[in-house]
């Protein structure tokens, strides 16, 4: 499967969020940078750490004018429960039929496990960064924040440094724990 790269236009989509809202990528064009992150499943250890990392950095993303959206094959009902249990302030999209993964050319690891890929899409709908690391959910947060700051011409703030420090600490405490 070919992959999307920085400089490629992001495929437009409409998908249902956990709160029932229909989300269209085109609605953010001209307004927001979009951090669109694909993850294997709600509740898996690394997926939970990643979601909580985006939650903890959410205020920083919103101050920069960025929107965070998570995508997995989980149902809207499962997303609602996951978002409520972890107090996630951003939208989770249900991709039960895999159409979003296919449109964004998100590969499967070992041909079976959904990969973890984050796309940072500028306010013109162009992919500016693609990051893929199945077992480093927190690193997706730091990478996305760094790229959003770069796109908007901001320097790294203490919150970004805090996220990076937290990632180093977690990687040191749990090297290669093998959990998606």
Number of continuous H segments (helices) and E segments (strands) in the chain: 5, 9
Non-local (6+) Cβ contacts of 88 within 8 A are: 51, 54, 55, 70, 82
Q: Which residue has the tokens 């064009």?
A: 29
Task: State yes or no: is 52 an active-site residue.
Answer: no
Catalytic hit among 47, 106, 142, 163: 47
Q: How many whole angstroms separate alpha carbon 165 and alpha carbon 128?
A: 24
Q: How many whole angstroms separate alpha carbon 106 and alpha carbon 37?
A: 10
Asked whether 29 and 124 are in contact (CB, 8 A), the reply is yes
Residues involved in catalysis = 47
């Amino acid at each position: 499967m070919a992959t999307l790269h920085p400089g490629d236009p992001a495929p437009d989509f409409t998908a249902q969020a956990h709160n029932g809202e229909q989300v269209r990528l085109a609605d953010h064009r001209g307004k927001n940078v979009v951090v669109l992150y694909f993850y294997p499943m709600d509740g898996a250890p690394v997926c939970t750490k990643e979601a909580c990392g985006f939650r903890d950095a959410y205020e920083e993303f919103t101050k920069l004018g960025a929107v965070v959206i998570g995508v997995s094959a989980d149902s809207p009902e499962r997303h609602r429960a996951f978002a409520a249990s972890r107090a996630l302030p951003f939208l989770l999209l249900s991709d039960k039929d895999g159409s979003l993964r296919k449109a964004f050319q998100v590969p499967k690891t070992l041909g079976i496990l959904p990969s973890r890929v984050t796309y940072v899409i500028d306010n013109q709908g162009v992919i500016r960064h693609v990051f893929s690391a199945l077992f480093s959910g927190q690193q997706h947060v730091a990478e996305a924040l760094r790229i959003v700051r770069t796109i908007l011409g901001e320097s790294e703030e203490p919150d970004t440094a805090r996220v990076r420090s937290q990632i180093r600490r977690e990687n040191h405490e749990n090297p290669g724990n093998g959990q998606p």
